[in-house]
Amino acid sequence: MNYYDEIKNKIIDEQIYSKAKKCSIERNKLNAYVEIGKLLYEVSGKYGESVIKDYSFRLSIELNKKYSIRYLFDIRKLYLFIKVHPLGAQLTISHCRLLFKLNDSNEINYYISQSLFKGLSKRELESIIKNKEYKRLPVEYKNKILKNDELKIKDLVPNPILIKNKNNIDIVSEKVLHHLILENITEFMKELGNGFSFIDSEYKIKIGDSYNYIDLLLYNIEFNCYVVVELKVIELKKEHIGQIQIYMNYIDSNLKKITQDKTIGIIICKKNNIT
């Protein structure tokens, strides 16, 4: 018997069970609160909103737990929220409460779908809302979502892309920008969109008699293609597009398999004087 593998597998099984159990508990809690919210909506419609203040006082005393007026209003709001956005019923109450403050129904639906698809925690959802991920998506992508059109990888990349710079380092060169990205490559790929995985940094290629280096070589699992990323700290120029096209052609000729789609390129450059 391989004791280590046996122990590891049991730990993994327990973690999966605990996560599934927690998810089930959260789902039951949300369903119960939606039903409570419906009752609060009905009773406040009949007797006015002051009844919620009365219920808050009585529940807090009789159940020996604080049920604030605001909390009960949020439960009522949850019922109305799920009524309009039924997919939200697959999230937790904490996730839903983060979405209450948003007014755009399309934006709300986007964050719900991202939360479900990526399994975002409350903190992760809060982060992408704070970074205005939806607002930074290309208009074409938003229109395609509304029309249920087929999406391409370029539709999913936000514009502008946010590069985390915790220490406010002066981004004076591609090397500095490169370093900042590599410091937190996982977050950078999440910022790019769904399905990106890291292959290499400064990927060496030979074109003619000279060697060149691709700043970042990624792969997108969803779209089954390589992704060439070039970094510039100046505004986009025509020659940058020519350069990345050469790199994309190289990858297509030397790495891409027949079952994979054509390589795409992303140029991250200065925009509106902000890197």
Spans of all domains in the chain: 3-140, 159-270
pLDDT number for residue 13: 66
β-pair partners for 213:
204
7 vs 112 pLDDT, higher one: 112
- Which of 155-159, 169-173, 219-223, 232-236 has the largest mean confidence? 219-223
CATH class of 159-270: alpha beta
pLDDT of 172: 57
Per-residue model confidence (pLDDT) at position 231: 87
Q: How many CB atoms lie within 10 A of CB 189?
A: 20
Confidence of residue 96 (pLDDT cuts 50, 70, 90): very high
What pTM does this model have? 0.56
Dihedral sign of CA atoms 258, 244, 145, 192 in order? positive
Query: Is CATH 1.10.10 the classification given to domain 3-140?
Result: yes
pLDDT of 163 above 60: yes
Nearest Cα neighbor of 141 from 154, 130, 131 is 154
**Tokens matching residue 250:** 């190289």
Query: pLDDT for 41-87, tens place per residue?
Result: 888 888 888 888 888 888 888 888 888 889 889 989 999 999 999 98
Confidence grade of residue 194 (pLDDT, cut at 50, 70, 90): confident
